[in-house]
Amino acid sequence: MRKPRIQLIAFDSFGVRSMATVIEVNGLKIFIDPGASYAPRRYGLPPHPIELETLEKLIDTICKDLQDSTHIIISHYHYDHYLRGEEYKELYRHKELFVKNPKENINVSQRLRAYRFFEKNGVKSLAKVNIADARTYSLDTGIKLEFSKPVPHGEEGTPLGYVIMTLLDVDGYRVVHTSDVQGPISESTLNILINWKPHMVILGGPPTYFEGFKISNECIVRSLNNMKKLVHMRQLEVLVVDHHSLRDLNYKDKLKEVFELGSRMGKKVVTAAEYMGKEPQPLEAMRKILWEKSK
């Protein structure tokens, strides 16, 4: 069983909003969600200069990795999941893209963003664009890309719309990138993950920093319980938990039961930074602290 080389390029535990992931196998370089951004306001404060510097550096890294990527996957059209604009469009030239359907199962804001990206910016004419939703593609002997149907960006019925999840199967070794499923909260999303039987899951965790006003306690509890179900999967070896969860300064306490369960079961349950051998730097969650230190 071949294991692909997995590089987590930019995540919230690196200091930016992102789930940028590169997977290399058999000479192919597959870039999932090549984007990054920041919160315009947090704690009533604008981004700290350290956040802006970090974002600039990580976008530069994303651009360099895009240059020699062979395939690009875009799970949805929130700006932290793809690079857009005139200055980036040449990075997509001659690439093969697998993208969330820009016209179906999509809310108005994301439909408009997708239109600007593919039509106005001309990416549609620069790259080979494949619709990913609920489809499977063979890239090479023994390498398969399978995409979920559109699943909720969090709980069922969310106004945030839908995302697609990606399964990369390399001779039976299965890696899943979930994008913004937030745990998942949705039971139907959880069932897809369980049925895929992944060895590694790169997971967008729940937005616990919104608990009690933008998201209910019930949804957070369901998300945490579903994450535990993922850890209990017999074949699972690695669960990377990041993205929305790392916007909570107390993420270690909020996710404590999940981390502890992983430890007891001999599973690697870590943030993206930890997976890459780094200390987490959740700069958005630290924004108030960073500004106070600057006084």
Residues across the chain: 295
Please say if the pLDDT value at position 49 is more than 90.
Answer: yes
37: left (phi over 0), alpha (psi -120 to 50) or beta: beta
Q: Per residue in 13-42, pLDDT tens?
A: 999 999 999 999 999 999 999 999 999 999
Q: Average pLDDT, stretch 157-181? A: 96
Please say if the pLDDT value at position 272 is more than 90.
Answer: yes
CATH architecture of 5-294: 4-Layer Sandwich (3.60)
Q: Per residue in 274-289, pLDDT tens?
A: 999 999 999 999 999 9
Cis peptide before 34 (omega within 30 of 0): no
* 205 in Cβ contact with 242 (< 8 Å): yes
Q: pTM to 2 decimals?
A: 0.97
Element containing residue 24 per DSSP (H, E):
strand 19-25
Q: Return the pLDDT at 271.
A: 98
Q: Return the pLDDT at 1.
A: 59
* 34 in Cβ contact with 76 (< 8 Å): no
Q: Return the pLDDT at 15.
A: 98
**Model confidence band, residue 198 (pLDDT cutoffs 50, 70, 90):** very high
Q: Return the pLDDT at 23.
A: 98
Q: Per residue in 85-143, pLDDT tens?
A: 999 999 999 999 999 999 999 999 999 999 999 999 999 999 999 999 999 999 987 89
Q: Per residue in 222-239, pLDDT tens?
A: 999 999 999 999 999 999
Domain boundaries, the chain: 5-294
Q: Average pLDDT, stretch 48-54? A: 98
